[in-house]
Chain A
Amino acid sequence: GNSVTQMEGPVTLSEEAFLTINCTYTATGYPSLFWYVQYPGEGLQLLLKATKADDKGSNKGFEATYRKETTSFHLEKGSVQVSDSAVYFCALSAYGNNRLAFGKGNQVVVIP
């Protein structure tokens, strides 16, 4: 079946540090890949997406590249801010109908 695996555990880092959150997936066919962010007290928001291999999604300084050969969609940001503190979810949609399979999420805490 379709599934998404995110790296274990919360991520704590200092302001202006480089952030990477790993995401790998298992899917039939050619899924679309997403990163969602959930700020405290709010619903999930789409951060970025990629719909085919080698596509790069980007938004708010975050980037992720759809790597079919490694079935990965790692999230990166070169210089994080305190306001980036949130939970980040990797997700995929295998049928283009918004039925999403999510990873467990990673809590990111950025310390001033």
Chain B
Amino acid sequence: GAVVSQHPSRVICKSGTSVKIECRSLDFQATTMFWYRQFPKQSLMLMATSNEGSKATYEQGVEKDKFLINHASLTLSTLTVTSAHPEDSSFYICSARDQSTGELFFGEGSRLTVL
């Protein structure tokens, strides 16, 4: 079964609204989680590294005020797309590193459509 769960799997929102996507590790603790974005027929692009109890580390070119990341517990990281616009429509994928084994697990992804 899935060990990393993302919610929602699909979301449609109006332009200008904010959307929150959750990433949960179900049976392990993760001090580090990663958020990726995937465009159609493109590779996964790392957006940021989410660190429990501290600020996320964003990759170059990713707007931190646009994509808010909160990693408030060892099993949950959230990505909030603020003031969403159609160009933010994409597939967002998280991964979580099991802090005891170092193994990396991926969520099923969340498809965001901004109208």
Contacts and interface: CB of A to CB of B under 8 A. Distances in A.
B109 A103 contact: no
B104 A98 contact: yes
Contacts of B103: 46
Given A43-B4, A98-B34, A103 B43 contact: yes
A4 B42 CA distance: 12
A42 interface: yes
Contact of B41 (A45, A89, A99, A104): A104
Contact of B46 (A43, A89, A100, A104): A100
B22 to A, nearest CB: 14
A42 B103 CA distance: 18
A112 interface: no
Nearest to A103: B43
A45 B44 CA distance: 14
Given A43-B106, A43-B108, A45-B106, A102 B43 contact: yes
Contacts of B104: 46, 98, 100
